[in-house]
Amino acid sequence: MSLEFDENSLYNYSDDELSSLIDKSPVVAPNIYVLSPKLVAKHIVPEVLGDAVEAMEVAHALGIRVPFTRRIIKNDSSACCIMDLIEGVTLEEAWSKLSWFTTIRLAFQLRGFIRSLVSGECKSFWIDDRFRIPDRSAPSTITSFFGFWINFVSIRKAKKNASFPPLPSTAWIPSTAETLVLTHHDLAPRNILLDRRNQNWLVDWDFVGFYPEYFEYAAIWRVFSCISAGFFEKEKRVLGVIQTKFTRWRVGRRFEIMQNGALSKYQPSIN
């Protein structure tokens, strides 16, 4: 921890002074700095800072154990969140020492957290092709995105198909309920802290967003998935296929967007 940092002066430091003190503090994990026995600082991409902080506030209000945010500093190129330090270890570190009883109890704790999260809007890296979909997209837009990529074969065929009215899909498409749910989206062992009483704390809310309920299952650690997030194995497999396709063919939706008006966050170039 920084020998110069004074907890009692947290709100008195200027942003520049606080940034300098953070840079001088010990790094305990990527982008995580220990400022004092009670506070840590985390560098966050500015574009996701607002969502992450708001999500933690909502989670806290719902009774989910999350670190409390004490101060935020932000400029055009960087952002940092100063929050409470949670004394404990990550589930990743503690896993080999946990009994089966404790493991199941923690899984049910996590299940309670997930069921407490609320409904709302959506933006997700599971639907991250070159053009993406608009922020706060409706469930129907997500379903259309899934339908395109499930039936996608090649760029040439996508161009040809865009010239004709769309045909009903013969492939199974995951349903998207009218109500989306606030989802942590990265419940890996490294992001679950166990305090001294073996209570779960959820950290690293950088990927938070509003998603169909099975997105949490698709992203969660396999050992906890069924107990904590329900059983959505079929949906998970389909998401994997879709992600593989749009990772390989990033501009696959280009002609669907240009000729059929498919919704997108970024428009294709005309050239």
Amino acid at 232: F
Q: Is residue 77 part of a domain?
A: yes
On the question of pLDDT at 231 being above 80, the answer is no
Name the pTM for this structure. Answer: 0.70
Q: Is residue 1 part of a domain?
A: no
User: In the prediction, which pLDDT does 150 show?
Assistant: 93
The per-residue pLDDT for range 69-96, each reduced to its tens digit, is 999 998 878 899 999 999 988 887 887 7
Are 176 and 159 in a shared domain? yes
Residue 95's CATH number: 3.90.1200
The per-residue pLDDT for range 165-183, each reduced to its tens digit, is 777 777 888 877 677 878 8
Q: Is residue 149 part of a domain?
A: yes
Are 175 and 49 in a shared domain? no
Beta strands in 11-123 (DSSP E): 27-29, 32-34, 39-44, 69-74, 79-84, 88-90, 119-120
Its domain, for residue 59, covers 7-84
CA angle 62, 207, 148 (to 5 degrees): 115
Residue 20's CATH number: 3.30.200.20
What length is written for the chain?
A: 271
Q: Is residue 79 part of a domain?
A: yes
* Rounded-to-integer distance, Cα 146 and Cα 143, Å: 5
On the question of pLDDT at 225 being above 70, the answer is no
On the question of pLDDT at 271 being above 70, the answer is no
Spell out the residues 6+ positions from residue 202 whose beta carbon is closer than 8 angstroms to its own: 59, 64, 65, 66, 113, 184, 187, 191, 192, 193
Are 248 and 152 in a shared domain? yes
238-259: average pLDDT: 93
Specify the number of domains making up the chain.
Answer: 2
Strand partners, 90: 193
18-39: average pLDDT: 91
Amino acid at 86: I
User: In the prediction, which pLDDT does 41 show?
Assistant: 95
Write phi, then psi, for 119 (nearest 5 degrees).
-90, 160
User: In the prediction, which pLDDT does 122 show?
Assistant: 55
